[in-house]
Structure 1
Amino acid sequence: MSGLLALLDDVAAIAKVAAASVDDIAAAAAKAGAKAAGVVIDDAAVTPKYVTGFSADRELPIIWRIALGSIRNKLLILLPGLLVLQAFLPQAITPLLMLGGAYLCFEGAEKVFHALFPHGDGVVVADLSPGDPAHLEEEKIAGAIKTDFILSAEIMTIALAAIPQGTLWMEAVTLVVVGIVITVAVYGVVALIVKMDDVGLHMASTGRSGAGRSIGRALVAFMPRLLAVLSFVGTLAMLWVGGSIVIHGLEELGLGWLGHHIHDVAALLGQAAAPVAGAVEWLAKAVMDGIFGLVLGLLLIPVATRVISPLLALVGSGQPRH
């Protein structure tokens, strides 16, 4: 009997440790996911364009295949790669994180620049005939998965940096949770956004009541505005998150002058608004991080357009055309 009681005590102790580990993983995953919010919002805002022009019955299958590609990117390529770096070359994490932050700043600044100075980019649409929808679908999916790889790399690197130092298995499980939850959330929202037009059209055309038809028409009219709001919020979030990542990285590398000044100015503004000091201080820091991100991104636009894009075009020109 005493042996059974001892076994039950051991089982209870193991259960408590497991429960604590689950709580730790959940907390770490939530913190990491919050840090990656800017990339997540932009991912949700960008992805719907990849199903534009396809018939309604192909939209969800395309989103499903992109989501599967995103899971493969995160769990089969990025997760083991980042864990290897964390184990054997942890000093590379901060520069990689800063590169991801700089890319976010570039993406956000490019959107701001194009909004202020709209112009044709001269890009020629691929010579795919309307009679080859299967080829077009494969091209769109491949392009979406490539774009997702960049965004996923930022998400997973940001998540890894936000996870408290612990055992390898806890970091791995936390990254798995973050990767799956974010992918499900992003592409679930994308699927909802994409199909909401169809729901609105169905309600507007077949609704049994005037109210139902009015709601349908309102949905159809609202979705483009929602996408515009998502894009705007995503741009702001990219500049804020990207700027804060680069500034924090500079601090980690011993170049903390800018970060310290931003913190001091935000603290002074917070003290001047005592009743809401915390909110004002956070907002001031976010605005200054975002302004830095915008300036950095604008400086990177010529580098990307005059150096990186020609190199990519040169590499792409050597690939066989389909």
Structure 2
Amino acid sequence: MSGGLVALLDDVATMAKLAAASVDDIGAAAGRASAKAAGVVVDDTAVTPRYLIGFKADRELPAIKRIALGSLRNKLLFILPAILLLSQFLPWLLTPILMLGGAFLCYEGAEKIWEKIHPHEEAETTPAVLQGPEAEDQMVSSAIRTDFILSAEIMVISLNEVAAESFWSRAVILIVVAIGITIGVYGVVALIVKMDDIGLHLTKNKSGAVQKLGRLLVSGMPKVLTALSVIGTAAMLWVGGHILLLGFDTLGWHGPYALVHHAEEVVGHAAGAAAPALKWLTNTVGSAILGLIVGAVIVAIMHVLPWPKKKHEAGAAH
């Protein structure tokens, strides 16, 4: 009897170890998947604060909460079931879909550069604070729609990293990724949006050092937002280009990947101890160059070619 109990306890301990190992594996896989989606995450973090311009200070956090819940709904209720079914029954479609998403990222990155070179005049708008609750609802809805595209990219990129896992493992890993990235992105967005308010509060402190920190936060936030925008643009070109680079290789066009890989090897042989970092940098630069080329072609198709003007644009010109 005691022998059976010991055996049972030993089995329970073994199962507990396996369960713990599975949790560790899921956490590690979720971490790898999230890291691959970093470029889109940075862009998501950089884009969202723009939708909160003109909000009352006491409405900023509730609006961010609504956008975050909408983002989670996008990921878990719409995107996750769709990509899981594709990965299970039509896995060959994932690479082309991922490449379409990569091309979209390249376009977005190149579009941002194009707007810097050829800025267009933006119509003056009344701040949301003066337009009432309807304006807040409209801005939140617009932010959630934009998030849907970025969330789809995050989830497909993440899925690509765990495609070899079983169906239920993929599902659990992607749920962890969806929740973790949503909390991370919108937690940072909330911090960014409220940082100037925190700074203003600190400037009223009796301590001179604390006041100085407050003034630094208030004056520094525009620079932080600018830096996020630049990093987000670079990340989109790099991530989008890398997706296309691997996709071309998977579909049989090995030239671009072979060229970048050869450049990595050349740099690696000449770099010595710094080889890993410089090889990564070489791959990143090569991916970004491809992303910029592809993005520029799409921007040219969308903006440079003489497409017929929309009616409302033509009317505004008169």
Please give the alpha-carbon distance, in whole angstroms, between the structure 1 residues aligned to 2:20 and 2:143.
38
Given the alignment of the two structures, is residue 174 of structure 1 paired with residue 173 of structure 2, yes or no?
Answer: yes
Please give the alpha-carbon distance, in whole angstroms, between the structure 2 residues aligned to 1:108 and 1:129.
28
For 1:77-131, what per-residue CA distance to the aligned partner results, in whole angstroms no more than 9, with x for missing partners?
A: 11111110011110110011001111110111111121223232xx656789865
* Structure 1 segment 97-246 matched on structure 2, within 5 A: 97-120=98-121, 124=123, 131-204=130-203, 206-246=204-244
CA contact (8 A) 1:104 1:242 kept: yes
Deviation at 1:6, TM superposition (A): 2.3
Indicate the residue corresponding to 2:24 in structure 1: 23
Please give the alpha-carbon distance, in whole angstroms, between the structure 2 residues aligned to 1:93 and 1:129.
40
Return the TM-score normalized by structure 2. Answer: 0.92
CA contact (8 A) 2:87 2:163 kept: no
For 1:209-228, what per-residue CA distance to the aligned partner results, in whole angstroms no more than 9, with x for missing partners?
A: 22222211111001110111
Please give the alpha-carbon distance, in whole angstroms, between the structure 1 residues aligned to 2:304 and 2:87.
33
| Aligned partner letter, 2:140 | I
| Aligned partner letter, 1:220 | V
Deviation at 1:50, TM superposition (A): 1.1
Indicate the residue corresponding to 1:319 in structure 2: none
Deviation at 1:304, TM superposition (A): 3.7
Alpha-carbon distance change, 227 to 130 in structure 1, aligned in 2, over 3 angstroms:
closer
Return the TM-score normalized by structure 1. Answer: 0.91
Deviation at 1:270, TM superposition (A): 2.1
Alpha-carbon distance change, 260 to 310 in structure 1, aligned in 2, over 3 angstroms:
same
Alpha-carbon distance change, 105 to 155 in structure 1, aligned in 2, over 3 angstroms:
same
* Structure 1 segment 271-286 matched on structure 2, within 5 A: 271-286=269-284
Tell which deviates more after alignment, 247-256 or 124-133: 124-133
CA contact (8 A) 2:53 2:128 kept: no
Indicate the residue corresponding to 1:49 in structure 2: 50
> Which SS does the other structure have where 1:165 is aligned?
coil
Given the alignment of the two structures, is residue 269 of structure 1 paired with residue 270 of structure 2, yes or no?
Answer: no
Aligned residues: 309
Please give the alpha-carbon distance, in whole angstroms, between the structure 1 residues aligned to 2:116 and 2:32.
32
> Which SS does the other structure have where 1:273 is aligned?
helix
> Which SS does the other structure have where 2:152 is aligned?
helix
Tell which deviates more after alignment, 157-166 or 206-215: 206-215
Alpha-carbon distance change, 128 to 180 in structure 1, aligned in 2, over 3 angstroms:
same
Deviation at 1:5, TM superposition (A): 1.8
Please give the alpha-carbon distance, in whole angstroms, between the structure 1 residues aligned to 2:23 and 2:129.
51
Deviation at 1:164, TM superposition (A): 4.9
Please give the alpha-carbon distance, in whole angstroms, between the structure 2 residues aligned to 1:125 and 1:224.
20
Deviation at 1:137, TM superposition (A): 0.4
Alpha-carbon distance change, 18 to 126 in structure 1, aligned in 2, over 3 angstroms:
same
Please give the alpha-carbon distance, in whole angstroms, between the structure 2 residues aligned to 1:142 and 1:306.
30
Indicate the residue corresponding to 1:255 in structure 2: 253
* Structure 1 segment 70-89 matched on structure 2, within 5 A: 70-89=71-90
Deviation at 1:208, TM superposition (A): 0.8
Tell which deviates more after alignment, 215-224 or 108-117: 108-117
Displaced runs of 4+ in structure 1, greater than 3 A? 123-132, 302-307
Please give the alpha-carbon distance, in whole angstroms, between the structure 2 residues aligned to 1:129 and 1:250.
45
Q: Runs of 5+ in structure 2 lacking a partner? A: 312-318
For 1:112-155, what per-residue CA distance to the aligned partner results, in whole angstroms no more than 9, with x for missing partners?
A: 121223232xx656789865320100000000000000000000
Please give the alpha-carbon distance, in whole angstroms, between the structure 1 residues aligned to 2:3 and 2:128.
78
Deviation at 1:181, TM superposition (A): 0.5
